[in-house]
Amino acid sequence: MTQVTFPLPDVIPLIPEMFVAVMAMAILLWDLFLPKERKQWSAYAAMATCAVAAALTLKLASPDSVNAFYGFFILDPFASYAKLLIYAGTFFGIVLSLDYMKDEPNTGEYYSLMLFGTLGMMLMTSAPNFVTLYLGLELMALCTYVLVGYQRDVLRSSEAALKYFILGSLASGFLLYGISFIYGVTGTFDFAKAGIGIAHAGADAHMALMLGMVFLLAGMCFKVSIAPFHMWTPDAYEGAPTPITAFMSIGPKVAGLVIFIRVLADVLPALQVDYTTILTWLAVLTMAVGNLAAIAQRNIKRMLAYSTIGHIGFAMLGLIAANADGYAGVLVYLTVYLFMNMGAFAIIILMRREGIQGELLDDFAGLSRVRPGYALAMGLFLFSLAGIPFLGGFWAKYVVFIAVVEAGHLYLALTALLFSAVGAFYYLRVIKYIYFDEERVAFDFAESRLMQATVAVTAIAVVALGLFPGPMIDICKAAISNII
């Protein structure tokens, strides 16, 4: 008989991942034994999982980068910081779901899938090679497909899930195809080794590398909804249950931009000239699509979908800058975006009239008369999203704009500024509805202490980050130190 020994790899850096995976499975089973009136407990357990995982990540965080599992996993400050953002996104997503999903069946699977999706994102942020990247991506994507179509009796939810699934599969195909070209040239899945291989590749490899890079970028662009690969975003955002829309607008974008940064910084530095051109045009297109199409939307979820596209376009400036400030800027952007977007979605979920979820812009009419508190919070979020000075959103834009100007792309920064001004228009229009229009139908808020707390925390965070952006920017710069 063949005797084979299996050495146990270094599992310590993976403890948060393992914890989330085990808890996701445990919640799945536990929920079956919960009586109907106590189904909320699985949500609390999922929230606790995020909190504990965050604590574990903080405990493990160190300034060095640690490789584990034979180079299939990396733990560095960059990954740790991104993971904290992802935990926060999932945590808020669960909080928003508490009331929204109360009457749906199978809530245990719902929270379990959110945790599995979180696990996929965590693996993406810690991916030092293409295998982990792809597997993490698929894990995350599969969970989001299901979660988008969770209300399967709602036609547009199923439609959105199907669209998202088909386009997502296509994008995964693009990604794999690109990876296979890069693997064919360099013979390795490892980011760093592939980067060296590309730098030393001969002239005859140029065409294959270009093709590989284009497909790789296209696949990743799809995941973070960069135009022209953004088509799924408005439909998926509108069709998905609103808490899932909120969940999808943070975690997957964080994970997607993190792998974007890793791939650009580790694999493709030798092709910087080529990818900068591609990304510049894509960024302009993305900002244009995001900010112009949002104006025409009547549905707030669709509007926020285009707003996400627009914000990703701004965050791309950091990628194009391709220096430490730019990458740190992306992290800053994501951090601020987490709070302002979550807050806005919390308000949307709160808005309910006669039992029907308020999703149209008209539904906000006269909010300031009834609930000045909520109106103020929503105003803050929208001002911040628009990038009005001395709220969090301003600094997010400021950091990436400065970075891209330093990298020598002045015209790009000016274009972005222009689109930022266009974007302000549709945010301010919502504020007009809130403050200057008459209430038409009586409000019926879906309130709970946790929701109010979420609104309060996010609003305070947006203001605090706006007034004291220094610490956050410093942390982001420290987090990026291992990448460049």
Partner 1 sequence: MLELGFFYMFAGLAVMAALGVVMSRNTVHSVMFLIFCFFNAAGLFFLLDAEFIGILLILIYVGAVMVLFMFVVMMLEVNFAGLREGFLRYLPIGGMIALVLFIEIVAAGSSGIFSPEGMPDPGHAAQHVNNTVEIGKVLYTRYLLGFEVAAIILLVALIGSVVLTLRVRKDAKYQNISRQVNVDPADRLRKVKM
Partner 2 sequence: MSWLDTAITAGIWALEVLAIAIPVALSVAYITYAERRVIGWMQIRKGCNRVGWAGLLQPIADGLKLFLKETIIPTTANKFLFVAAPVMSLLPVLVAFAVVPFGETTLGGLWEVAHVMAISNLNIGVLYVMAISSLGIYGILMAGWASNSKYAFLGAIRATCQMVSYEIAMGFAIVCVLMLSGSLNLAEIVRAQSGGFWHWYFIPLFPVFLVYFISGVAETNRSPFDLTEGESEIVAGFFVEYSGMWFATFSLAEYGAMILISLITAIMFLGGWHAPFPFLDVIPGTVWLLGKTAFLIFMFIWFRATFPRYRYDQLMRLGWKVFLPVTLVWIAVIGISIYTPVLSDIIGFWRPGSAL
69 binds, among partner 2, partner 1, none (CB under 5 to 8 A by kind): partner 1
Shortest distance (Å) from residue 13 CB to partner 1:
11
Compute the 3-state secondary structure of the chain and give helix, strand, coil in percent, each to the nearest 5: 80, 5, 20
Question: Least CB distance from residue 227 to partner 1, whole Å?
Answer: 17
Which residues are within 8 A (CB) of 388 and not within 5 positions of it... i.e. 6 or more apart?
394, 424
CB of 182 to partner 2, least distance (A): 33
Q: Binds 181, which of partner 2, partner 1, none (CB < 5 to 8 A, cut-off by type)?
A: partner 1
When the beta carbons of 2 and 103 are compared against partner 2, the nearer one is 2
The binding site for partner 2 (CB under 8 A) comprises: 1-3
Nearer to partner 1, 123 or 412 (CB): 123
Beta strands 73-75; 352-353: pairing state: unpaired
Residue 2 CB, nearest distance to partner 2 (Å)? 6
Joined together, the tokens standing for residue 380 give 């803050």
Q: Which does 26 bind (CB under 5 to 8 A by kind): partner 2, partner 1, none?
A: none
Residue 3 or 7: which CB sits closer to partner 2? Answer: 3
Residue 165 binds which entry of partner 1, partner 2, none, CB below 5-8 Å type-dependent = none
Q: Which does 3 bind (CB under 5 to 8 A by kind): partner 2, partner 1, none?
A: partner 2
Q: Give CA separation, 48 vs 20, 26, 88, in Å.
A: 10, 13, 12
Residue type, 130: F
Closest distance to partner 2 from the beta carbon of 8 (Å): 13
Give the three-class secondary structure for 66: strand
CA 245 to chain centroid: 11
Please classify residue 434 by burial: count the beta carbons closer than 10 Å to its beta carbon, then call 0-12 exposed, 13-18 middle and 19+ buried.
buried
- For the chain, the first-to-last Cα distance in angstroms comes to 50
Q: Round to whole Å and give the CA distance between 123 and 132.
A: 7
Cis bond before residue 228 (omega within 30° of 0): yes
Burial class (CB in 10 A: 0-12, 13-18, 19+), 44: middle
| Binding site partner of 150, from partner 2, partner 1, none, Cβ cut-off 5-8 A by kind | partner 1
Contact partner, 1, from partner 2, partner 1, none, Cβ < 5-8 Å per class = partner 2
- Give phi and psi for 126, each to the nearest 5: -100, 20
Give the span between the Cα atoms of 138 and 134, in whole angstroms.
6
CB of 285 to partner 1, least distance (A): 17
Residue 190 touches which member of partner 1, partner 2, none, C-beta under 5-8 Å by kind:
none
List residues near partner 1 by CB under 8 A.
2, 4, 6-7, 9, 14, 21, 25, 28, 69-70, 72-73, 105-106, 109-110, 112-113, 116, 119, 123, 131-132, 135-136, 138-139, 142-143, 145-146, 149-150, 152, 181, 184-185, 201-202, 204-208, 210-211
Tokens of 326: 């730019």
Helices (runs of H) and strands (runs of E) counted in the chain: 19, 4
- Min CB(350)–partner 2 separation in Å: 43
Distance CA 247, CA 159 (A): 19
Q: Are the C-beta atoms of residues 295 and 234 closer than 8 Å to each other? A: no
Residue 153 C-beta: closest distance to partner 1, Å = 9
Q: Measured from the CB atom, is 204 or 438 closer to partner 1?
A: 204
Of 3 and 64, CB closest to partner 2: 3
Query: Which one, 2 or 202, has the nearer CB to partner 2?
Result: 2
Shortest reach from residue 11's CB to partner 2, in Å: 18
List of long-range contacts for 11-15, beta carbons under 8 Å, 24+ apart? 11/68, 12/60, 12/68, 13/60, 13/66, 13/68, 13/73, 13/75, 13/126, 14/68, 14/69, 14/73, 15/56, 15/60
We find the least distance from the C-beta atom of residue 17 to partner 2, in angstroms, to be 23
User: Which of partner 2, partner 1, none has residue 206 at its interface (CB below 5 to 8 Å by kind)?
Assistant: partner 1
Binding partner of residue 201 among partner 1, partner 2, none, CB cut-off 5 to 8 Å per kind? partner 1
